[in-house]
Structure 1
């Protein structure tokens, strides 16, 4: 049997997310009616997924979201006043820092919700309200399908919160579902466009010495996931910045070794992104754009798909997933070969079971 690769899971995303949406339970849940002020605990790609879904969650669920790195929160953080819900997100369910943080809040009166793809995992055993990501266990270490499933699930949870609060009626629910079905139907086309874009620019992408991506709004989460995926796979210095924060210092390191990606959606911030891109083009080796709109520019991956800004990360992360795999492969990196095999056992970043209390 052919071993599963990162690309296999990318190609499964359309089917997997359609299944999630088909099977999601949108009925009123009394436990969600009080959800108003939420702290989310997540790290790595799970953190990036939460950041990608934050705008949609806050808008749809009429809630305030704070996202925390669980290790830092566990040792130095404190809940903001009025917090009524903790959401722990771990695709594998084995993130030691997230498990520890949830366990330490166990005695709290605040409700705890867990999102994981493994219902037998350590994190699933320590909470009463567990949501199955419903996409199976992703065996490749560089998660792609799991990232997109997490983003979608957070958006769907927000919709169910709205239904439970009686702020979303059946008509609005059907509108939101229709928009998501339409968006997901474009996944394979975006994968095809991304592969074609890579092949067009393969030579320059293969030579990239440092990769930087800039995004705004919910696509701050998209470029942070770019940072994670490129660092894990391409293994060259890679970083994702919120658009405005890049202008406050990080631009000073720009030079000919840099490949810049600008992620753009229709927004009041688009003109700001255009202005920065026009300026930076004179100071970096190569500048690309990835946009949901249309463009004749050969250096722009133009998806030409109408999508609301809050749902756009579901589409805009796909090009970076494809590019991460394709660039790593063209550089001769064997992603099936594990490196740092003893990392988790020595640093104890992952756990296999929960100790009895």
Structure 2
């Protein structure tokens, strides 16, 4: 079993631990006067913020936006910033770009919080509130466990603030936490179904030359994260698009070399037709659904709540990252150049 697989299998337990630690972790920040939240980070960290931003905004009824650190500059903070919270996310906690974005925000009067995957992180130095993601060690270059745990930490932050500020009821708070626990319970079942399907299709998957992923807007952050993980580990061209964006031009690039994953949670009635049309050009068009369908290549036994599907939906794509690269002569747990960040000066520590 690969390192990535071990980390994935730890995820449900770590999610429950994070829920247990949330009251103490958010005890101080929930009292802060906040009316806007900016989530910032790169790569997987950005995707976690993007994936959760819509749900957080709905729960809190305040502006919540995800931004790359490079998007943030002096003009980002033109208004009164005293009630703006900037959350810097970095799995290893040593990203210079995230650190610098938080430092800029702080200089403009914002509140700052850090979310790193370990205590004593570099980005903690510029944080008013340290909101460690207690996911445990994850040494693989391609992060999986940390992605789920960061998304959960963001959700629990919003629930804590919402309850304290009377933006949501105790019943809603309790309901959301219970839904997360249900999603954690579904994790292993989705993992097992994905593992069986991957074994059946491993030769076709191993021969992938270029990969496209498309799916619903509600899971756009997850789609981008899937593309990043597949690119990191399969080491071939990979891109991810929301369904409507895929229709606007991307389909032109699909040919016999293309592998396409269509994620369908039942919200897009054209998914079946998309598979049908693309299958005229490629034999590796895969429809992954969360509901029973005779047209699906893989039906995932996920939680059915659309808000919490994010804790189950991309398990098969992450598991491909763990199992298939070795068939291509690649160790998926080790970056192509382990010293890359040190050479480029992009991180304080090589995490």
Structure 2 distance, partners of 1:230, 1:303, is 19
SS of residue matched to 1:339: coil
Distance 1:325 1:80 in 2: 44
Q: Using a 3 Å threshold, how does the CA distance of structure 1 residues 80 and 109 change in structure 2: closer, same or farther?
A: closer
Name the residue aligned to 1:308.
305
Q: Where does residue 235 of structure 1 map in the other structure? A: 235
What do the CA deviations read for 1:34-56 (whole angstroms, capped 9, x no partner)? 43322221111011111221222
Output the TM-score relative to the length of structure 1: 0.90
Q: Which residue of 2 aligns with 1:187?
A: 187
In the alignment of these two chains, the number of paired residues is: 347
Contact 1:289 1:301 in 2 (8 A): yes
Partner of 2:44: 45
Corresponding residue of 1:94: 94
C-alpha offsets along residues 7-50 of structure 1, whole Å, 9 cap, x if unaligned? 11011111111211233218775755643322221111011111
Preserved CA contact (<8 Å) 2:89 2:116: yes
Mapped contact 1:37–1:85 kept (Cα < 8 A): yes
Query: TM-score, normalised on structure 2?
Result: 0.91
Matched, 1:202 2:202: yes
Mark the runs of 5 or more structure 2 residues left unpaired by the alignment.
none
Aligned with 1:295: secondary structure?
A: coil
User: Is 334-343 or 118-127 further displaced after alignment?
Assistant: 334-343
Per the TM alignment, residue 253 of structure 1 is displaced from its structure 2 partner at its CA by 0.8
When structure 1 is superposed on structure 2, of 89-98 and 277-286 the one drifting more is: 277-286
Contact 1:36–1:62 (CA<8 Å) still a contact in 2?
no
Residue 281 of structure 1, CA deviation:
2.3
1:318 paired with 2:312, answer no
8 Å CA contact 1:53, 1:310 repeated in 2? no
Alpha-carbon distance in 2 for matches of 1:29, 1:166: 16
Matched, 1:343 2:343: no
Matches within 5 A, 1:190-269: 190-267=190-267
User: 1:9 and 2:7 equivalent?
Assistant: yes
Gaps of 5+ in 1: none
Equivalent positions of 1:114-153 (< 5 A) are 114-153=114-153
Verify the 8 A CA contact 2:189 2:301 in the aligned structure 1: no
Query: How far apart are the structure 1 equivalents of 2:134 and 2:29?
Result: 22
Cα RMSD (Å): 2.3
Q: Determine the C-alpha separation between the residues in 2 that align with 1:335 and 1:59.
A: 36
Distance 1:135 1:63 in 2: 28
Equivalent pair of 2:302/2:313 in contact (CA under 8 Å): no
